[in-house]
Structure 1
């Protein structure tokens, strides 16, 4: 039985940019989920305001999870068309979540200590 030389994915080179980008977003999502679990451990020490941090981290992780398929599809299609556009809104909102986590974290520590 002869092997087909036809690729199984949308683009011709599996392991290329769309897959690496998907892995990077997956690591970001897992980091946010891990951090949100750590925030829950701080709940007895800092009280209810820590739930704001938990909500932001969990929301950002969920947003990445639910938009991952769209991002991968757009990137794969861009590889076929030889024109891949950056996902500026995803990067922007992830940066906003990071700044919010930093600001809220400082606020929670300062006002609950």
Structure 2
């Protein structure tokens, strides 16, 4: 990696998290649109997607700092708790959305 590229990997990581947050906000907007028809399941999808989007927003700066430190030659480690909680959150959102679609 050249010196001119230093820090760009961390920037790309932050941008990927921002895209994920935007996608979750879009899911929340779609759930809000279906709220009159789907009721509680749409409310659960709305709440879960906004919660996960908020958690991503609050953890974004720590992720950027961790990636930047790893590029600077310091030890960088993956956050297992953040990755697991994101996976569980997305699975819960998908389950709530599928339940709202498949159950009358």
Mapping of 1:1-113 within 5 angstroms?
13-15=6-8, 17-111=9-103, 113=104
**RMSD across aligned C-alpha pairs, in angstroms?**
1.8
Contact 2:41 2:97 in 1 (8 A): no
Runs of 4+ in 1 over 3 A off after TM superposition: none
Aligned to 1:49, the other structure's residue is in SS state helix
- 1:4 corresponds to: none
User: How many residues of Structure 1 are paired with residues of Structure 2 in the alignment?
Assistant: 101
5+ long unaligned stretches in structure 2:
none
1:78-108 residue CA offsets vs partner (Å, 9 max, x unmatched): 2213432222222211110111112122222
Say which one has the larger Rg. 1
Compare the two structures and name the one with the higher helix fraction: 2
Q: Scaled by the length of structure 1, what TM-score is found?
A: 0.79
Q: TM-score, length-normalised on structure 2?
A: 0.85
Unpaired stretches in structure 1, ≥5 consecutive residues = 1-6
